[in-house]
Structure 1
């Protein structure tokens, strides 16, 4: 008897069933429940540091630290900033703060002194847990920011500072009870996210946000291809991705293998050495590690991919026999959409999938009306557990919300089957002679050339058309500009893009792009570090190098 394949309707029914399941009330309760279930099983391995911890150890240590932090004056609602590396201290402190009902403010470890002071001041941080390596940055500031005082700075690592994280942990009792009850409606993270312009904004994220995020992620990766136990986490923990991946791993009862920092050269070894079943897979790792006999040693079962070309999707699934699925998420809403494991044909397209549990999606026109099928408009999202709003940003909140709908600022379309496709970012659109050009769309076409490893498309000023399209190209290893001349690139683009979308300017990148800690191309730095945006570029209109 033949079993029918699932349908979109089946997926939406499954999603509704998930929404009926009870979730833990708080981060602390969740960790306690998982520790009771998995006890002495290894929960996390910080392999660069040679440290492993069981579920029971993490639970106990979080309570010990919480006990000491309460004795130091931290209470429910207190804002505590963390400027830490990918180390056990980050995870344990987050859980401890959640157990108290305090609010964690993750701080980017690459921040300059000015950026650090801004976030600590804007977030109203009363306490700071900081790695000793970053302490000089704070000490060099003219004055401590906002509500902070030196007696409320806790240092991890070797330092002469009197308040040490390790001492607090050792002094605390694992028999801890929070002075105030903590529920899913309480604030857990003040998560700073950079917009396209201006200073970062703090997203107010509740305990419910994180429980929905990690439980949805875990359930999505269960099914006929179950058995995900070993998860690789390589991005910095001050971003939201590693945090939900860590909690997802705990929900699966698995083990998180945590890298100190990303390394494309070591990536394949990580997959093999730790028998990784799931990770967010960076597309450049495919070209960094070409097909070879070691492919047979990879045990991947499921990977998350974002913005990959069709050829790369086909290659990774063929090489490793893995389910590769895209999705859409952002700090403000967590997971918004996911491609189901059963949607094999759709997975080869650049679709973000179907609405995730607890999420309702609509595509709206500029006047706020709902768009038709395949009509491009802005993606709006609502649902339980999305951000409360931006901390101390009434103007941004007024612009970003319409009732309970959050306006993402991303351009999408929805096909007749109900699958959502990202088109581009509204504020990253290039306005060329009255026409909107999606940088994402042009980048996707450029990366469709086998010779191009990565591409970044930006706007450059133009006196006639207001803005022109410029593409930075990174070629695959071993290839040079002579192998991929501008004429070949323009010809390829002309086959796939309307004439006004074809880049006028091309610039070849030697080495690598400037990148964020999560390995995304840092377009702002790319532009800022270019003194003359037209130098060393090929001008298609004038058919010459400038």
Structure 2
């Protein structure tokens, strides 16, 4: 075997082993199997309260809660919105609904009244399990969404009559719960709303099989070395990542260490104090922590990274002694691509990996035909456990599927070694004078510049060239715009980007607006109708533009 193999043979073997395995039928079966194997071991610890729960106790509580929810009228197929922070009630409610065969609709606890109304109405929510702190958004509605009534609002953490208190329902539940209707792996478990960077979110219909496979395969890839046990969950549970990470920890026989929220300032303490072996590691965190003796206190063994530059990939492995690997997934498909542990030097390149178990992939051109290796096209994915489709969105389903293939909307190329490289979103391409510019490529160059924490590249309308490139920069803590002036930005780009890709407009921000999944919401950076040139530095004019003269730069 040569070094040029880059782990492809190991990936094939591991795929075959994963596809030959027998998986639990439902989420309830998944939990019961883990409880039988690990019993009194600690499944989860909530870092803010210090509360812990064993595998056996978790399984028992989900059965008791399922029996109580059944008495409230929740049946197979009932749509239940769950609006909870990172507390034990979230995974317990999810699992209890899964045992019944009901459908969970995760809801962001930070939603405004307008956003909440949209999701509850669009999802046809019939019940709501809500944290007391989020009640004002619900109670402030003039009228409840059509399928809701006050008697079907279950409150966690607040004073409520027994029939509507989450805590009282759990306490009154029967541990010998048996589902009145059979639940199968193809039944819907989640109506998971995408946190897209544009437009209204769409509800992805996700089955039990989707979640069982996603959690199991995440453990299969990340736990191959046998050393991953403590898993840090620090994103909100109403986003999909914490849900599969919780199942991954369960499949590994490990412990999910659950933080109340994402916090760069607290992340280091969490990693050290809880002896964390695995987490999703954002690149800005690496920049926020100067290299030093404190690095040796970490217990990291595997971290998931997304879109990192080569230098950062090498740095995180060198500093922390861990494995850092890229992958590609999305709400609609779960896992899609994975860089194997054995990838060697290939792992340091900007690649997303090879097809994961149960996944077939194609790169397709605008003509609907597969492109030649090395050429750019849209990634299409097929296989077991994809989303059913988008809820009540026939147009989106027609656009998003071609037969059994799901069209991801992401542009990829396949390199000479067979690895897939993401180029960018189809809708995130900037077209200047007939040239296609991937915003991600510009951002990768900007993020590698000293003093830059994160960047966002966007297209600015231009009557002559179609669009011009603009970058927004968020600088590292303690760095001022005068430390990273526009002239230095252009100089940095000169040897790294073709001139037509080099930003014309540059602006600085304190922070970016973000989605639930922590993606930058580019459409919300500027108020609607604002001129994107105003307040920017213009490379052509060599000066900062005012609102009055911004329009004159269009030519």
Q: TM-score, normalised by structure 1?
A: 0.97
Q: What does residue range 335-354 of structure 1 map to in structure 2 within 5 Å?
A: 335-354=335-354
Matches within 5 A, 1:369-388: 369-388=369-388
Query: 1:331: how far off?
Result: 0.1
1:530 positional shift: 8.8
Structure 2 residue ranges without an equivalent (≥5): 546-555
Give RMSD over aligned pairs. 1.8
* Conserved? CA contact 1:196–1:428, under 8 Å: no
Q: Separation in 2 of the partners of 1:157 and 1:467?
A: 51
- What is the CA–CA distance in structure 1 between the aligned matches of 2:23 and 2:427, rounded to whole Å? 36
- Give the structure 1 partner of residue 441 of structure 2: 441
**Paired residues, number:** 544
Q: Could you say if the C-alpha distance between residues 64 and 39 of structure 1 is closer, same or farther in structure 2, counting changes exceeding 3 Å?
A: same
- Cα offset, 1:20, TM superposition: 1.3
Alignment correspondent of 1:539: 538
SS in 2 for 1:177: coil
Q: Does the 8 Å contact 2:198/2:521 carry over to 1?
A: no
In structure 1, the residue corresponding to 2:9 is in which secondary structure?
helix
- Aligned twin of 2:553: none
User: Where does residue 172 of structure 2 map in the other structure?
Assistant: 171
Distance 2:331 2:245 in 1: 14
Looking at structure 2, the residues matched to 376 and 196 of structure 1 have their Cα atoms a distance apart, in angstroms, of 22
1:525 corresponding residue in structure 2: 524
Q: What whole-Å deviation, never above 9, does each CA across 1:10-35 have from its counterpart, x for those lacking one?
A: 41232022111110000001101101
Higher mean C-alpha displacement, 354-363 vs 487-496: 487-496
Q: In structure 2, what is the Cα distance between the partners aligned to 1:350 and 1:410? A: 15
- Partner residue of 1:232? 232
Matching of residues 26-175 of structure 1 within 5 Å: 26-160=26-160, 163-175=164-176
User: 2 CA distance for matches of 1:231 and 1:7?
Assistant: 25
Counterpart secondary structure, 2:494: helix
Asked if structure 2 preserves the Cα contact closer than 8 Å seen for 1:201 and 1:390, the reply is yes
Secondary structure (helix, strand or coil) at the match of 1:351 reads coil
Scaled by the length of structure 2, the TM-score of the pair is 0.95
Note if 1:412 corresponds to 2:412. Answer: yes
How far residue 211 of structure 1 moved from its aligned partner, in angstroms, is 1.0
Paired with 1:140 and 1:257, the residues of 2 have a C-alpha distance of: 34
Question: Which residue of structure 1 lines up, in the alignment, with residue 552 of structure 2?
Answer: none
Residue deviations 1:314-339 (CA, integer Å, cap 9, x gap): 11111101100010000000010010
Give SS of 1:144's match. Answer: coil
Per-residue CA deviation, residues 166-191 of structure 1 (Å, 9 max, x unaligned), is 00000111111100111111110000
Q: 1:95 deviation in Å? A: 0.4
Q: 2-side partners of 1:288 and 1:268: how far apart?
A: 10
- The answer as to whether partners of 2:7 and 2:344 remain within 8 angstroms in 1 is no
Q: Secondary structure at the match of 2:168?
A: helix
Residue 400 to residue 2, structure 1, CA distance change in 2 (3 Å): closer
Asked if structure 2 preserves the Cα contact closer than 8 Å seen for 1:5 and 1:342, the reply is no
> 1: CA distance between counterparts of 2:388 and 2:125?
19
Q: Which residue pairs with 1:216 in the alignment?
A: 217
User: Bigger CA drift: 474-483 or 246-255?
Assistant: 474-483
Structure-1 residue corresponding to 2:251: 251
Q: Which range is displaced more, 517-526 or 187-196?
A: 517-526
How far apart in 2 are the matches of 1:118 and 1:512?
A: 27
Does 2:368 match 1:368?
yes
Distance 1:291 1:363 in 2: 40
Name the counterpart of 2:515: 516
Q: CA deviation at 1:542?
A: 1.0
Deviations, residues 501-537 of structure 1 (Å, cap 9, x unaligned): 111100122x332333443323222133794422321
For residues 295 and 530 of structure 1, the distance between their equivalents in structure 2, rounded to whole angstroms, comes to: 46
